[in-house]
């Protein structure tokens, strides 16, 4: 109603002052653009966290800062749907013993050991597991029949959907946290068709050793109650590195989840620092820019850097961004910030 009266005033031909015109423009801005994020003045508290995140981003993590503070917060579906419609992405070897396969949005990481493979996540459904896990491994010259474990990072269908199939087809054992198993057991139609039956339970600090490789798991709730994360060793042309893989990083949409993930981020920073983590991967390419980095790895010359190796300082600052942007969202929504 105010917008309408402002337009009448501005188009009525009556002489009016610059101040009146300004007031009219302001009214237009407020009433026509109230839902556009960029037009709302940020609160000082929210802005303070955004600036902290920007400082943590320094000169090398701009994209991560903008993603977590704004794009993921304001347009949660944009990236996934965009990526899903993109040209199919070929699987790739990213370390001597780690492989990438993607449906364009989700990444499944395949860890090769001396006694078979540990696969992290399984895409949305059996068809995707067949195409991107089984098919992807075959393209890479790997035998999917040697998949020994499928680790379900958390209880969302885009991660567990193909796991039941991988167990039936290849005899893989499935691993998930207790809260994840409980949630998957309660799945409703249509996803219940893909929900795997309870198998191995991941506890906090638990180690899984397969042949020459050990993976250490931690419970990192927040994105979901049952989210887990993993630390393991890789080699890049023979040079050892330590991967830190946080298994659930999408921003929770409620106050409790946001505060919980801030705690998990803080703990993860300590755990990864103590473990000497220097390589960053995630299970959605929007979070670690894996697709971009894999494209570089396809053309990389011997001795050149591996973009998944970010170093300890950048790794820590990456999670500083996650924490501060999550606090900014709590502030934006007038929610309590525990720490
Ligand atoms: Zn999820």
Name the 3-class secondary structure at 331: helix
Q: Which residues contact 292 (CB under 8 A, 6 or more apart)?
A: 307
154 CA from centroid of ligand 1 (Å): 6
Beta strands in the chain (DSSP E): 92-95, 98-102, 107-113, 116-120, 147-151, 173-177, 200-202, 207-210, 213-219, 228-236, 239-246, 279-281
What local confidence, expressed as pLDDT, does residue 16 receive? 39
What local confidence, expressed as pLDDT, does residue 79 receive? 54
Residue 37 reports pLDDT greater than 70 = no
| DSSP code for 129 | I
178 CA from centroid of ligand 1 (Å): 16
76 CA from centroid of ligand 1 (Å): 12
Structure confidence by residue, pLDDT tens digits, 325-334: 999 999 999 9
117 CA from centroid of ligand 1 (Å): 23
Output phi, psi for 61, to 5 deg: -130, 35
pLDDT class for 76, splitting at 50, 70, 90? confident
| DSSP code for 206 | -
Identify residues whose C-beta is under 5 A from ligand 1, the ion. 156
234 CA from centroid of ligand 1 (Å): 25
User: Sheet of 147-151: strands edge to edge?
Assistant: 92-95, 98-102, 107-113, 116-120, 147-151, 173-177, 200-202
Separation between Cα atoms, residue 224 and residue 242, nearest integer Å: 25
Structure confidence by residue, pLDDT tens digits, 274-296: 999 999 999 999 899 999 999 99
Helices 312-332 and 44-57 meet at what angle, rounded to 10?
170
pLDDT class for 92, splitting at 50, 70, 90? very high
106 CA from centroid of ligand 1 (Å): 10
91 CA from centroid of ligand 1 (Å): 22
Instruction: Enter the CATH code of domain 85-246+278-308.
Output: 3.60.15.10
257 CA from centroid of ligand 1 (Å): 12
Q: Which residues sit opposite 179 in a β-bridge?
A: none
What local confidence, expressed as pLDDT, does residue 73 receive? 81
33 CA from centroid of ligand 1 (Å): 31
pTM strictly above 0.95: no
How far separated are the first and last CA of the chain, in Å rounded?
42
């Amino acid at each position: 109603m105010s917008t309408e009266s402002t337009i009448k005033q501005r188009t009525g031909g009556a002489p009016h002052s610059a101040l009146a015109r300004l007031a009219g423009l302001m009214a237009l801005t407020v009433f026509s653009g109230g839902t556009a994020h960029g037009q709302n003045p940020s609160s000082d508290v929210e802005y303070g966290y955004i600036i902290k995140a920007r400082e943590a981003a320094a000169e090398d993590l701009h994209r991560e800062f903008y993603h977590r503070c704004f794009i993921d917060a304001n347009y949660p579906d944009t990236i996934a749907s965009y990526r899903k419609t993109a040209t199919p992405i070929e699987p790739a070897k990213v370390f001597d013993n780690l492989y990438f396969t993607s449906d364009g949005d989700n990444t499944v990481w395949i860890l090769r050991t001396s006694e078979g493979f540990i696969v992290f996540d399984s895409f949305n459904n059996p068809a995707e597991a067949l195409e991107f896990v089984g098919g992807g491994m075959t393209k890479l010259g790997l035998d999917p029949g040697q998949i020994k474990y499928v680790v379900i990072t958390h209880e969302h269908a885009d991660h567990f959907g193909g796991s039941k199939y991988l167990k039936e087809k290849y005899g893989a054992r499935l691993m998930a946290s207790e809260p994840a198993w409980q949630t998957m057991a309660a799945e409703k139609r249509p996803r219940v068709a893909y929900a795997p039956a309870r198998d191995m339970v991941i506890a906090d600090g638990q180690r899984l050793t397969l042949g020459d490789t050990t993976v250490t798991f931690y419970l990192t709730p927040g994105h979901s109650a049952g989210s887990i994360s993993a630390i393991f060793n890789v080699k890049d042309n023979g040079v050892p590195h330590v991967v830190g893989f946080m298994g659930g990083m999408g921003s929770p949409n409620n106050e409790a989840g946001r505060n919980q993930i801030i705690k998990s981020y803080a703990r993860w920073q300590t755990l990864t620092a103590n473990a000497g983590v220097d390589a960053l991967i995630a299970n959605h390419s929007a979070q670690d820019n894996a697709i971009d980095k894999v494209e570089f790895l396809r053309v990389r010359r011997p001795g050149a850097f591996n973009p998944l190796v970010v170093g300890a300082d950048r790794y820590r600052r990456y999670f500083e961004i996650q924490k501060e942007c999550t606090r900014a969202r709590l502030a934006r929504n007038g929610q309590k910030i525990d720490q």
